[in-house]
Amino acid sequence: SSLLPKTVLWILDCINSECPLCLPGLILFFYFVLYLFLAGMFSFCMYMMLLTLSPYTPTHRDRVSPPGVMIRPYLHGFTIAFNVSEPSTWKPYVNSMHHFLQAYNNNVQEEKNIECQAGQYFIQDGAESKEKKACQFKRSQLHSCSGIEDPTFGYSTGQPCILLKMNRIIGYRPGYGTPVSVDCAIQKGNASALRSVDFYPGNGTFDLMYYPYYGKLTHVNYTSPLVAMHFTDVKKNDFVPIQCRLNGEGIVSDVNKDRFLGRITFTLSITM
């Protein structure tokens, strides 16, 4: 027993004690020690677990792919309703678009990102930790939906622009060599309600050069490529449900439970 450190002896003494005065304190002390130990063990385990993770790529990516789809403007739902003659009804959408497109301003893109060769994946070899270059996606590429010529993105004329964005997935190469394209259609009802949509850039495709994505840590200035949809002739004064889909190899857009996987549904309600 002489080999036991003094603290152990003291703890054993405490355990064996019957002194009633020190009891409440002893209980508190006991739980303090126990929880301290558990907290320590938990931290240690978490630390060990985090050590096994790569800071660049998640261990598993099976749940995040294939990609989902989102649109801008995004306020609080998927119904975009406004009255052309009342700017206050569409102003929030326009502001949201402007805010979103800040990162795509030509000068920002030119300053931070490089020009890449279109039509092929921009694969950057080398160490995983090396900082990756990002390709320029200039706001001007969105043409009439860039908000440069028409700062109201067509909302003031009843021809709203909507931006479509494919969710980022590390290492994902959409289309397997063929660019993924976007098309839109009336989801239910009369097809004539949606007579014409213009897509930018390049007829509504996501160029291969923006892929693959290398992750937040190394692909610092990466900006997701966008497809702008200019609804130039939509039935007015009515709710028009529109579904836009991604088309391309490896894209899944028919899962019942996930209505945002490879497709998105929103409603346009433009009042003149």
Residues binding another protein (CB under 8 A): 14-18, 23, 26-27, 30-31, 34-35, 38, 41-42, 45-46, 49-50, 53, 56-61, 63-64, 67-70, 74, 76-78, 165, 167-170, 213, 215-217, 219, 222, 255, 257-261, 264
Minimum distance of another protein from residue 95's CB (angstroms): 18
Q: What does the alpha-carbon distance between residue 57 and residue 193 come to, in Å, rounded to a whole number?
A: 44
Q: What does the alpha-carbon distance between residue 141 and residue 152 come to, in Å, rounded to a whole number?
A: 17
Name the residue nearer to another protein (CB basis): 15 or 123. Answer: 15
Residues in the chain: 272
Name the residue nearer to another protein (CB basis): 6 or 76. Answer: 76
Nearest to 268 by CA among 146, 167, 144, 185: 185
Minimum distance of another protein from residue 259's CB (angstroms): 8
Minimum distance of another protein from residue 192's CB (angstroms): 28
The dihedral sign for the CA sequence 4, 8, 10, 12: negative
Minimum distance of another protein from residue 115's CB (angstroms): 22
Per-residue tokens: 97: 């678009």
Minimum distance of another protein from residue 77's CB (angstroms): 5
Minimum distance of another protein from residue 179's CB (angstroms): 19
Minimum distance of another protein from residue 216's CB (angstroms): 3
Name the residue nearer to another protein (CB basis): 67 or 241. Answer: 67
Name the residue nearer to another protein (CB basis): 138 or 219. Answer: 219
Name the residue nearer to another protein (CB basis): 203 or 255. Answer: 255
Name the residue nearer to another protein (CB basis): 78 or 193. Answer: 78
Name the residue nearer to another protein (CB basis): 65 or 247. Answer: 65
